[in-house]
């Protein structure tokens, strides 16, 4: 790797060096150009000719103009080397030779609301209906790493996800679920929380005599989530959060080899308020800094890259989303191959989980959301995603009901079993439009990545408030476009029904009694453990934070002694000190 050059500079150089065979002869292109001009001037109306290029406007969209028609002229510079065959470099058409014929994507619906027993029941019900993976979402207290009985947690336990205080709580949630055969994603969001919840999961597996080497799944572990997307009473600095991110990667990579130790979360960055371009440039910048830091620690990019995964939002600009997934797949390959000289194909595969866009769901006429999510799911599949969660129609009211959750799973299964779109690989590949859009997306993502790298990298950009400003400005701009109707949302600001009915939906409500019981159980556990031993281990963790030792190893030790999430969070903030994020206003 050359630290003096940006990724864009490196890639531009290699591009000119690689062999490229034009798909169209100059004579054919010239003839086409002439006949296109003729068509434009004799058949196309004045109005259409004047507005030949328009920029579609959609929520969290792209700002990329589209023409009325695409022809080979739009991809005259594209060669088949830019596409390749699926399962081969540059993986534009997919990471596997047979894609969904071999294995359909992992149908992984988010799960987690109510008591731990109810969550266990919902997970088993979805698996029983054909879901192929688990996706555990956490309640506000668990996401923010507060114990269920801390004063800040009041009213927010078990409302929008699973309440997990200590390792034993994992026992109940995963009871009778074959975790050695089922891929489990734990939506940990932050590096700190990954260092807390992953050990709790591992220690639970230990109690069940399941070797860590058999465990498959993923955590998020993304410092951007912790320092930009998160809103919290207290933060540690981006630099420290990034250090924990890399500690987690180092530990998990070594001890839980089949586990995806980092899932760079573009989704929440975009849904918070960025374009689909920024979503990807930020995640790629994080990946580049992560691989570089791991190299500094003595790990080859081939080793680290193999277990890096991505998490994308797929919104409503249908072809834009398909093109974007193809673009980032090619770009990731190029980064790994040319910036990091990777040789291991797995390290060059852009493997991703997709969630349909929650932001695009409306509270008005919620059944319309079923249609939105289905189109978005289809775009994810045509884009070649590895894993998918389809949002439920009732999510502008509540976490999904059991019925809505099953409908989301069925949406995926209908695409799989009834539409025949999964019988071939990359069905849209070769379309003049899709290839042209794929090129444009790749260029835009790379341009923004270049901007971040020229600022000194992502950590610095976050510290300086660049991403905070991007998000703030995007939200303001988008809000204006919703208000003036340029962004159209059916039933909300466009074709709104005269009589707005409040639909009769099941909603999940907070249960104060259940919250009190969870608190009681936690207090009992604190009394029953060997507290002297526990605090000795927490002291060791604090010490590890201040030295270069891997913090996750010490978290595992603390969790084995019964540590709770709040206790570990406090150890982190005491050791690292707190950080004041840039202001939003």
Partner 1 sequence: MRHIKVLLAQFPLETHSRGIITVAGMLRDSGMEVVLLGNATPQQIVETAVQEDADVIGISTYVGGELTLSTDLLNEATKKGIRDRTLFLLGGVFPPRSAVELQKMGFRGTFPPSSTKEEIVACIEEGMKAWT
Residues that bind partner 1 (CB under 8 A): 139-141, 143-144, 146, 151-156, 159-160, 229-233, 271-273, 359, 362-364, 396-398, 471-472, 475-476, 479, 483, 492-493, 502, 507-510, 512, 583-585
Strands (E), 192-232: 217-219
Alpha carbon 340 to its chain's center: 23
- Indicate the residue among 508 and 525 with the shorter CB distance to partner 1: 508
Any idea what DSSP says for residue 237? Answer: -
Q: How far is CA 5 from CA 104, 128, 254, in A?
A: 39, 51, 31
Min separation Cβ 355 and partner 1, Å: 15
- Indicate the residue among 139 and 293 with the shorter CB distance to partner 1: 139
Rounded to whole angstroms, the Cα distance separating 290 from 238 reads 13
- Indicate the residue among 27 and 507 with the shorter CB distance to partner 1: 507
Min separation Cβ 518 and partner 1, Å: 13
For residues 323 and 438, the answer to whether their CB atoms sit within 8 Å is: yes
Rounded to whole angstroms, the Cα distance separating 259 from 274 reads 29
* CB burial string 87-122: b at 16+ within 10 A, e below: beebbbbbbbeebbeeebbbbbbbbbbbbbebbbeb
Q: Is the dihedral of CA 388, 159, 405, 176 positive or negative?
A: positive
- Indicate the residue among 206 and 365 with the shorter CB distance to partner 1: 365
Nearest to 433 by CA among 76, 93, 86, 71: 71
- Indicate the residue among 152 and 171 with the shorter CB distance to partner 1: 152
- Indicate the residue among 90 and 566 with the shorter CB distance to partner 1: 566
- Indicate the residue among 153 and 244 with the shorter CB distance to partner 1: 153
Phi, psi of 159 (to 5 degrees): -80, -45
> Which spans in 111-166 are helix H?
116-128, 140-143
Nearest to 69 by CA among 432, 443, 439, 440: 432
Min separation Cβ 336 and partner 1, Å: 32
- Indicate the residue among 271 and 306 with the shorter CB distance to partner 1: 271
- Indicate the residue among 287 and 568 with the shorter CB distance to partner 1: 568
Strands 53-54, 66-67: pairing is antiparallel
Min separation Cβ 516 and partner 1, Å: 11
323: its two tokens? 């093109």
Min separation Cβ 474 and partner 1, Å: 10
Min separation Cβ 271 and partner 1, Å: 8
Min separation Cβ 208 and partner 1, Å: 30
- Indicate the residue among 291 and 361 with the shorter CB distance to partner 1: 361
581: its two tokens? 């994020």
How many C-beta neighbours within 10 Å does residue 18 have? 11
> How far is the first Cα of the chain from the last one, in angstroms, to the nearest whole number?
39
- Indicate the residue among 146 and 310 with the shorter CB distance to partner 1: 146
Min separation Cβ 585 and partner 1, Å: 5
Min separation Cβ 502 and partner 1, Å: 5
Strand partners, 269: none
Min separation Cβ 517 and partner 1, Å: 15
Min separation Cβ 4 and partner 1, Å: 37
For residues 564 and 147, the answer to whether their CB atoms sit within 8 Å is: yes
- Residues 6 or more apart whose CB falls under 8 angstroms from that of 140 comprise 153, 156, 157, 159, 160, 161
For residues 141 and 116, the answer to whether their CB atoms sit within 8 Å is: no
């Amino acid at each position: 790797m050359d630290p003096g050059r940006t990724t864009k500079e490196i890639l531009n150089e290699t591009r000119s060096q690689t062999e490229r065979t034009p798909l169209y002869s100059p004579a054919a292109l010239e003839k086409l150009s002439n006949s296109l001009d003729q068509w434009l001037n004799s058949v196309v109306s004045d109005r259409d000719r004047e507005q030949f290029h328009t920029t579609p406007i959609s929520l969290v969209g792209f700002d990329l103009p589209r023409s009325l028609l695409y022809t080979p002229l739009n991809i005259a510079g594209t060669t088949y080397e830019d596409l390749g065959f699926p399962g081969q470099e540059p993986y534009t058409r997919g990471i596997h030779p047979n894609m969904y014929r071999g294995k359909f994507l992992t149908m992984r619906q988010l799960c987690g609301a109510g008591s731990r027993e109810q969550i266990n029941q919902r997970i088993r019900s979805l698996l029983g209906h054909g879901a192929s993976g688990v996706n555990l979402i956490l309640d506000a207290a668990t996401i923010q790493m507060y114990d269920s009985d801390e004063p800040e947690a009041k009213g927010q336990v078990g409302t929008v996800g699973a309440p997990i205080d200590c390792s034993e709580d994992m026992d109940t949630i995963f009871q009778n679920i074959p975790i050695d055969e089922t891929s489990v994603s734990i939506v940990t969001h932050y590096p700190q929380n990954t260092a807390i919840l992953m050990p709790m999961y591992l220690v639970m597996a230990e109690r069940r005599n399941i070797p860590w080497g058999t465990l498959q799944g993923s955590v998020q572990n993304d410092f951007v989530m912790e320092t930009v997307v998160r809103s919290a009473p207290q933060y540690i600095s981006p630099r420290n959060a990034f250090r924990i991110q890399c500690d987690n990667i180092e530990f998990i990579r070594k001890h839980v080899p089949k586990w995806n130790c980092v899932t760079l979360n573009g989704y929440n960055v975009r849904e918070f308020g960025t374009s689909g371009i920024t979503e990807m440039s930020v995640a790629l910048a994080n990946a580049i800094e992560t691989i570089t830091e791991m190299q500094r620690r003595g790990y080859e990019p081939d080793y680290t890259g193999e277990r890096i995964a991505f998490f994308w939002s797929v919104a409503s600009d249908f072809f834009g989303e398909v093109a974007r997934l193809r673009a980032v797949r090619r770009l990731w390959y190029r980064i790994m191959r040319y910036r990091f000289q990777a040789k291991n194909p797995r390290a060059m595969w852009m493997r991703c989980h997709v969630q349909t866009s929650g932001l695009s769901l409306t509270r008005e006429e919620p059944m319309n959301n079923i249609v939105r999510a289905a189109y978005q799911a289809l775009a994810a599949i045509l884009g070649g995603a590895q894993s998918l969660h389809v949002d439920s129609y009732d999510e502008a009211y509540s976490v999904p009901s059991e019925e809505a959750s099953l409908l989301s799973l069925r949406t995926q299964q209908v695409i799989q079993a009834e539409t025949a779109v999964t019988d071939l690989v990359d069905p849209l590949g070769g379309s003049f439009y899709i290839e042209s859009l794929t090129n444009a997306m790749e260029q835009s993502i790379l341009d923004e990545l270049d901007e971040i790298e020229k600022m000194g990298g992502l950590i610095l950009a976050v510290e300086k408030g660049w991403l905070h400003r991007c998000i703030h400005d995007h939200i303001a701009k988008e809000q204006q476009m919703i208000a003036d109707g340029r962004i159209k949302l059916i039933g909300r600001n466009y074709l709104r029904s005269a009589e707005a009915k409040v639909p009769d939906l099941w909603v999940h409500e907070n249960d104060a009694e259940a919250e009190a019981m969870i608190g009681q159980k936690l207090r009992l556990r604190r009394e029953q453990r060997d507290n002297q031993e526990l605090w000795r281990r927490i002291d060791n963790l604090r010490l590890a934070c201040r030295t270069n030792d891997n913090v996750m190893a010490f978290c595992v030790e603390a969790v084995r002694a019964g540590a709770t999430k709040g206790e570990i969070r406090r150890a982190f903030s005491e050791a690292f000190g707190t950080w004041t994020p840039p202001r939003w206003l």
